[in-house]
Amino acid sequence: MKPSIYENSRDVFLDTVNAKDYIQLERVSTIYQSLKDSIEKPLKMVLLYGKPGTGKSMFLSKLHHNLISSQKVCLYKTPILDENEFFKILAQDLYGISYEGELNFTQFIKVVENKELLGTTIPLILLDEAQLYSTPMMEKIRLLSDTRKVKFVIALHKTEKEDIIAKEHFQTRIWESIRLENASTSELKIYIQKKLMKVNCIDTASMFTQKSINLVHKLTDGNYRDVNKLVYTLFDIYVYYANNNPNKINTSEISTKFIEMSAIHTGLIDA
């Protein structure tokens, strides 16, 4: 096998959030469909939560990518912590109004209430890493959603912030709460193989036997971010051996030793 195959396989697993790299898994696609259905309903807020690396950002990215052509949708991958800045950016992105001076919440909500909806669709705001927003800010987002002139999809880690969201006055406004989880063994196999197939690395995809998938799952607990890091390092090791000592490579299956070496390198194994 040529070293370039391993290089291509390695690069697929670069940990980036790109809607094009989104892998359609059965369970994830079901969740995605239910989220899409929820958005079409007169909801106020959709809560998307889960542990880090479960694909929340990718989910929002995919949603943004799919909806941008049909409706007004804004994705904020990193939180805008300054309140003034947050409302100014929202006014700019939603309504094309740019404010040079200050724009506080009272001013912005007046702007929102006075704006007539274009068609039947309500503008959608996707907020990633929402756990970083302060509690007063979250309360203001809630009040904005109460105007029914804007919808929010909030993605956050399972932290104390989630408890705030879970409070009764917040809970009533949440149309749907979607929890994302780590991949199962079978999902992981599909995820890795589909990723490799996308770049035509069929040979390396077939090297992932159930045994090696089980080991990867054991080491990463099915966390997509960890899987990406591990498999990236794994193919990096393969690239090294393909260039320096090709005899050590078994092309029929992924070496357990190499997986363990990758886990040591990425810190999944403490050695």
Partner 1 sequence: MLNVNDLEARHKKYKIKSYAPYFVIFASVTVAIVSITSFILYNSKIEIDIEKEEQNLPVIVQKIEVTSATKEKNETLQEVEQKTVQEAAVEPVAAKEDIKAEQKQEKVSLFPSLDFMGKIGSNNQVYYTKETISTAQKVPKEITIDIKQEEKKQEEKIVPKKVEKIEEVAINIDKKTPINIARKDEQEDLSHVIKRFNVNHNPALSLFIAKKYYQLGSYEQAYNYALMTNEINSNIEESWIIFSKSLVKMDKKDKAVETLKKYISHSSSSQAKQLLDEILSGKFK
Q: Does 173 bind partner 1 (CB under 8 A)?
A: no
Single out the residue of 145, 236, 242, 254 in contact with partner 1 (rule: CB under 8 A): 236
Q: Does 129 bind partner 1 (CB under 8 A)?
A: no
Q: Does 265 bind partner 1 (CB under 8 A)?
A: yes
Cα(149)–Cα(44) distance, integer angstroms: 9
Q: What minimum distance in Å lies between the beta carbon of 268 and partner 1?
A: 11
Q: What minimum distance in Å lies between the beta carbon of 165 and partner 1?
A: 41
Q: Which two tokens stand for residue 176?
A: 């749907």
Residue type, 212: S
Q: Cα Rg for the chain, rounded, in angstroms?
A: 22
Give the residue with the Cβ less far from partner 1, 175 or 240.
240
Question: In this structure, are residues 220 and 10 in contact, taking their beta carbons and an 8 Å threshold?
Answer: no
Q: What minimum distance in Å lies between the beta carbon of 257 and partner 1?
A: 6
Q: What minimum distance in Å lies between the beta carbon of 22 and partner 1?
A: 28
Give the residue with the Cβ less far from partner 1, 175 or 241.
241
Q: Does 207 bind partner 1 (CB under 8 A)?
A: no
**CA nearest 123: which of 156, 152, 86?**
152
Phi/psi at 72 (nearest 5 deg)? Answer: -75, 115
**DSSP assignments along 14-61, one per residue:** -----GGG----HHHHHHHHHHHHHHHSS-SEEEEEESTTSSHHHHHH
**What are the Cα distances from residue 76, in Å, to 95, 130, 135, 148?**
16, 10, 18, 20
Q: Which two tokens stand for residue 135?
A: 């509690």
DSSP 8-state assignment for residue 155: E
Single out the residue of 2, 78, 247, 271 in contact with partner 1 (rule: CB under 8 A): 271
Give the interface segment with partner 1, choosing from 52-60, 73-81, 148-156, 233-241 (CB under 8 A): 233-241
Q: Which two tokens stand for residue 90?
A: 């929202």
Single out the residue of 95, 99, 175, 240 in contact with partner 1 (rule: CB under 8 A): 240
Collect all residues with Cβ–Cβ distance below 8 Å to 52 and sequence separation of at least 6.
157, 223, 225
Single out the residue of 94, 237, 242, 254 in contact with partner 1 (rule: CB under 8 A): 237
Give the interface segment with partner 1, choosing from 51-59, 69-77, 180-188, 258-266 (CB under 8 A): 258-266
Give the residue with the Cβ less far from partner 1, 20 or 271.
271
Give the residue with the Cβ less far from partner 1, 193 or 262.
262
Task: Tell me the number of residues near partner 1 by CB under 8 A.
Answer: 13
Q: What minimum distance in Å lies between the beta carbon of 212 and partner 1?
A: 16
Site for partner 1, rule CB under 8 A? 233, 236-237, 240-241, 244, 257, 260-261, 264-265, 269, 271
